[in-house]
Amino acid sequence: MNRPLHRFTPKKLTQAISGLPFLLCATTGSAAPEHEQHLTVIEEVVVTGELQKKLADTALPINVLSGEQLNNDLANTLGDTIDSLPGVQSSSFGAGVGRPIIRGQSGNRVRVLQNGINTLDASSVSPDHANGVNPFAAERIEVLRGPATLLYGNGAIGGVVNVLDKRIASQPLEETSARILQSHDTNNDQNTTAFTLDAPAGNFAVHADGTIFNGNDVEIPDGNFLPPFQDEDTTGRLRNSNFDGKSGGLGATYFFDSGYIGIAVSDLQQEYGLPPAPPGVSDEEGVDIRIDLDQTRYEIETGWLLNGFFNELNAHIGFTDYEHREIEIEPEEEFSEDEGDGEEEIGTRFFNEGFDSRFTLKHGSPNNQHGVLGVQIQDREFGSEGGEGYILPTDIRSFAVFALEGFEYKQLQLELGARIERTDTELSSGCDQSETTFSASASALRDISDSANVWISASLSERAATEEELFSNVSESTCTNFAEQDLIEHAATRRIEIGNPDLDTETSRNIEVGLRKHSGEWTGEINVFYNNIRDYIFAGFTDDPEVIRYNQQDADFYGIEAEFTQHLFRDSNQHFDLRVFGDYVQGELDDGEDVPRLAPARLGAELSWARNRWFAQLSSVQVFDQSRTSSNETKTDGYNRLEALIEYNLPINDSNLAIYSKGKNLLDEDIRDHTSFTKDSAPAAGIGAEVGLRFTF
């Protein structure tokens, strides 16, 4: 075989450092030593677009995190790992949750994938649910901003985040490689240990990875938090923000003359606390709520080289068994010493069980036409059980056919795509929502020089309402909302969430224009977009701060994203670069009100320097005030997040030892995340430092 199938596996690998913690990433045996990676420019090939174009040739705004950039950005949560990218922010719900927000969209409008198929967790259902993805096991993370519905499901109008690991290899390995991480965070005494191992074994490639992490309650700036939201016995710490977790994965791939077939299994377990109830929301005094999450995932993937019009066949199936329990811990003082530190009660159990599968045929031709034809099938059961189960078990089935064609003519590249998807969401035989959605896209990219191009894209994307939007607090017998006295509170959010079985299909019309310079003394990209969404579904506050109701209204989103890097000095031994980026998005409903919890504007700058064995970085991100708010939503002050990193690399024969230290929130700012439901009761961590080492061999 002379090329990889389905997934591109770059020769350099990584792991992680930083963010709120530390790192881990897969690595190939031929990877360069880490101190050399700082000085190396890799021409990335994008996996998520299926046509596997070079990053510079894609007519979409795409970012790829891999290598040292992933090392520097890696954090506990997926959202925190990628929130330094333009147009991307993180929505928190305490220290254990950070969900991606892209262009002001989150939840089910941002598709989170693991190796190109759905994670099938519960993160899109509620803001307190963490993504079922371990960033420490990632080899690379690709982020597509803007509608990516065609290939990965209806409704991804915000974008797609694809987390790629090496549990199933797409090309044979040349030699054994491994990476070990150990790190410590001074803010909450968090410790992380992680490793990856990849090895050839005849016609096989085998993989193993594991991560263990745990941390205490995070420290927050003094004076920013008042009882009962701050624990009086531990002044300066956010109560119930401690967490721990572990994950592991095994994979094996067999290679034959015309392709490969691989299997993988992984398990993720996390326990994390949720913040106290925000002001204005009632709470039983002292009751803490914790999430106990467990996800087991099985994957099988195969790729075949073909002869004929279609030259490649890929199939990928993922089976997921996900559940988490929301545990209420009563105050210690209500119980005697014989009963321990407090009584635990499981209020709700959420589950998501099922599979997602993709089958694609690719073709290419001498006349520079190439494309992909695919089918996606998903079948799962989602719901909640227990005394506080407000979403009854629901069956969700979908079947989709999609096609994407690319054409090249001299300096012009064109892409046309379409997708038809049928989705059946059934709460009971008498409460069934069936929708057929259609999506289409067209894009054009033209080179204006050897180092720059301009592109334009337009798309139409339909999204069927999801189970939580339709059936939260809905009776399966009458298919109407429960009576007011029977409404069930979601204990974790301390709010009552009310769905609407009569919601219509969303329709998004998006157009954007971009300019990209991909080589030379400076590189960068600027994108401008406009998105009109008919029948936009949103969770809006009511006059009662404890009640959230799903509503529908037309909405307009528009914004701009920019990122530029200037090579101030660069030669074979060192480089000194300046990176600046910024983003702005505005969303307005048809009645003139602003869209709730809209991400604020940002402007950031980053200086990075590498010389021989040393690497240093200083970054500052100014997040501006957010005064554009919806009804019953408070304004949020801006802040500046200042961070610094220094790293020393020590080559040892063919291995490398990297020792690093990263300072976080160095100004000890009071950081409130406007996109979070808990911004008034859970500020981000204050000043702290992360120290660690990575050993690669």
Question: pLDDT tens digits, residue range 305-335?
Answer: 999 889 999 999 999 999 999 888 875 544 3
200 contacts 255 by C-beta, under 8 angstroms: no
The boundaries of the domain holding residue 40 are: 34-696
Q: How many domains does the chain have?
A: 1
The verdict on residue 25 lying in a domain is: no
Strands 394-409 and 431-449 turn out to be: unpaired
Highest mean pLDDT among 331-345, 375-389, 547-561: 547-561
Q: What tokens appear for 498 in the block? A: 């009310």
Whole-number average pLDDT of the chain: 84
The verdict on residue 3 lying in a domain is: no
pLDDT on residue 15: 32
* 11 vs 392 pLDDT, higher one: 392
664: nearest Cα among 608, 694, 619: 619
Helical (H) or strand (E) element with 510: strand 506-517
206 contacts 168 by C-beta, under 8 angstroms: no
Number of neighbouring beta carbons within 10 Å of residue 552: 18
Residue type, 105: Q
pLDDT on residue 228: 45
pLDDT on residue 21: 31
51 contacts 370 by C-beta, under 8 angstroms: yes
Q: What is the DSSP letter of 219?
A: B
Which phi and psi (to 5°) does residue 677 adopt?
-70, -20
Helical (H) or strand (E) element with 467: helix 467-471
Task: Read off the CATH number of the domain in which 614 is found.
Answer: 2.40.170.20
170 sits in the region (left: phi over 0; alpha: psi -120 to 50; else beta) called alpha
Write down the residue that tokens 């965070």 correspond to: 185
Helical (H) or strand (E) element with 50: none
Mean pLDDT of 282-291: 71
139 contacts 196 by C-beta, under 8 angstroms: no
Write down the residue that tokens 């995340």 correspond to: 673
C-alpha 66/C-alpha 73 separation (Å) is 10
401: nearest Cα among 153, 51, 156: 153
130: nearest Cα among 22, 233, 269, 23: 269
Strands 496-498 and 506-517 turn out to be: unpaired
C-alpha 155/C-alpha 457 separation (Å) is 17
Least reliable range by pLDDT among 130-144, 237-251, 275-289, 609-623: 275-289
pLDDT for residue 233 is more than 50: no
pLDDT on residue 232: 47
The verdict on residue 549 lying in a domain is: yes
pTM, rounded to two decimals: 0.86
C-alpha 508/C-alpha 491 separation (Å) is 33
Q: What is the DSSP letter of 230?
A: B
pLDDT for residue 282 is more than 80: no
pLDDT on residue 449: 92
Residue type, 106: S
Grade residue 284 by pLDDT with cuts at 50, 70 and 90.
Answer: low
Grade residue 41 by pLDDT with cuts at 50, 70 and 90.
Answer: very low
C-alpha 697/C-alpha 695 separation (Å) is 7
Mean pLDDT of 436-447: 93
C-alpha 675/C-alpha 659 separation (Å) is 35
Which phi and psi (to 5°) does residue 337 adopt?
-60, -30
Contacts of residue 10, defined as CB under 8 A and 6 or more positions apart, other chains included, come to 28, 42, 44, 45, 66, 67, 140
Question: pLDDT tens digits, residue range 613-630?
Answer: 999 999 999 999 999 988
Residue type, 557: F
Contacts of residue 167, defined as CB under 8 A and 6 or more positions apart, other chains included, come to 115, 137, 207, 209, 249, 250, 251, 262, 264, 266, 299
pLDDT on residue 14: 31
**For the chain, give me the number of helices (H) and strands (E)?**
5, 30
Q: What is the DSSP letter of 25?
A: -
The verdict on residue 492 lying in a domain is: yes
208: nearest Cα among 160, 253, 147: 253
81 sits in the region (left: phi over 0; alpha: psi -120 to 50; else beta) called alpha
Residue type, 647: E
Grade residue 43 by pLDDT with cuts at 50, 70 and 90.
Answer: low
Question: What's the full length of the chain, in residues?
Answer: 697
Task: Note the maximum CA span of the chain.
Answer: 80
The verdict on residue 679 lying in a domain is: yes
